[in-house]
């Protein structure tokens, strides 16, 4: 039997084309409730693609400020249940879950901020300024962009998931994670990097989505110096990137990209 990447489901379909009707099957991306628990206490339920969930647990914990450092996470156990998945994170120094901080509402796959019940929980606290980093080699963004399409097995099958990639300053893609939610893909990528002890100054993140507020927040909180997006950033994302000393590029295309903040890491010579 041919193996397929986790996170895929096969469903019956009827294809109408050119006045004809054909019955068949199609691959679809799974979108499943994933409950995150810290030391046995429920914190959040996110809709996610059930692949790389250990990476997701590490990245979510760090990018949401649940733990201060990767070493605070002692173990991650994934339990598959009828309704979805439970991810039990055993960690020290976990931010206390109380009536003010608990995410008691589920988060949709397209929303990284769902579950926050107060406006101040969304915008505070701001991440610290990221350290200065090396300048990318000429053509690094375009090289990474060209290679990324061949590193997305879930999207190749379904056309329905986002990818977040980590590339070296030369543009070589080293890690890729996919998910139906763009912020989940970023969490999975950041989690994989933190588990490997990667230097967040040694490369950049490329996402196949817009650069939204939560994506910039997650990258900045882990010290990523450069975030590149295939689509546009939001105005709030640009302001956050500027305040966080993060280089933000959007509309990354072959031969073209738009720099919104801190262009010095790209060597474009833009003031």
Judge contact between 37 and 89, C-beta under 8 A.
yes
157 is catalytic: no
Q: What are phi and psi of 241, to 5 degrees?
A: -60, -40
Active-site residue identified among 28, 68, 102, 111? 111
Judge contact between 226 and 219, C-beta under 8 A.
no
Known catalytic residues? 111
């Amino acid at each position: 039997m041919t193996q397929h990447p986790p996170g895929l489901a096969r469903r019956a379909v009827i294809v109408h084309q050119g006045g004809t009707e054909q019955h068949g099957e199609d691959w679809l991306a799974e979108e499943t409730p994933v409950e995150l628990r810290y030391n046995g206490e429920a914190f959040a339920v996110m809709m996610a693609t059930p692949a790389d969930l250990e990476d997701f647990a590490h990245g979510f914990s760090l990018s949401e400020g649940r733990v201060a450092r990767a070493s605070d996470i002692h173990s991650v156990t994934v339990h598959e249940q009828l309704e979805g998945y439970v991810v039990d994170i055993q960690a020290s120094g976990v931010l206390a879950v109380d009536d003010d901080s608990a995410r008691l509402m589920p988060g949709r796959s397209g929303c990284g901020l769902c579950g926050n019940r107060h406006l101040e929980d969304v915008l505070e606290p701001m991440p610290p300024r990221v350290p200065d980093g090396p300048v990318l080699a000429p053509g690094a963004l375009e090289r990474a962009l060209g290679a990324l399409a061949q590193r997305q097995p879930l999207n190749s099958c379904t056309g329905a998931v986002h990818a977040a990639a980590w590339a070296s300053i030369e543009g070589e893609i080293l890690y890729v994670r996919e998910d139906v939610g763009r912020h989940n893909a970023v969490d999975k990528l950041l989690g994989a990097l933190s588990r490997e002890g990667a230097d967040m100054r040694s490369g950049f993140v490329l996402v196949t989505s817009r650069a939204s507020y939560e994506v910039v927040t997650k990258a900045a909180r882990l010290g990523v110096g450069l975030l590149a997006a295939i689509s546009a950033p939001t105005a709030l994302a640009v302001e956050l990137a500027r305040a966080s000393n993060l280089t933000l590029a959007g509309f990354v295309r072959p031969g073209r990209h738009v720099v919104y903040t801190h262009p010095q890491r790209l060597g474009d010579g833009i003031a």
